[in-house]
Amino acid sequence: MSTHVRKPGWLTINVFNRLVAWLTRRGISVWGSRVLAVRGRKSGQWRTTPVNVLTLDGRQYLVAPRGHVQWTHNMRAAGGGELHLGERVDTFTAIEVADHDKTPVLRAYLKRWKAEVGVFFNGVGPDSPDDQLRRIAPDHPVFEITVTG
């Protein structure tokens, strides 16, 4: 498994993520944003971060553009979590998508959010050939989520 991680800088942590999370908690979705809540794999405490939920062919996905970050490790351990938008809370289960099945999901994700996250994909974009998307797939965890309540 890849250990690829692109840690966010001060501006992202202290300004952008906080602003998006603040708006999302008040029910204003920024380009499909939700606040992801997942239990910490060591502490058991709820951890939150803003995410973009991708809907593709009637299925929903969470993609980790920055790589194998803390929420992805927690998601693997917890097997699900919650998505918050304002007062609405959707509980879900999550199954990690195998690297060889990620190509259409990564392509759709980049098509929708390339302006926001494209820098994390090392020059690969929505119009890149399948082999380039397959090459970067191990660096970007993808979870298919199923809302349960």
Mean pLDDT of all residues in 14-33: 79
pLDDT score of 1 more than 70: no
All domains of the chain, ordered by start, with CATH?
32-147 (2.30.110.10)
Segments of 1-149 assigned E as strands: 33-39, 46-56, 59-63, 80-85, 88-96, 142-147
What pLDDT is stored for residue 22 in this prediction? Answer: 84
Q: Please state, rounded to an integer, the average pLDDT across all residues of the chain.
A: 91
Tell me the pLDDT tens digit for each residue of 95-121.
999 999 999 999 999 999 998 888 999
pLDDT score of 14 more than 80: no
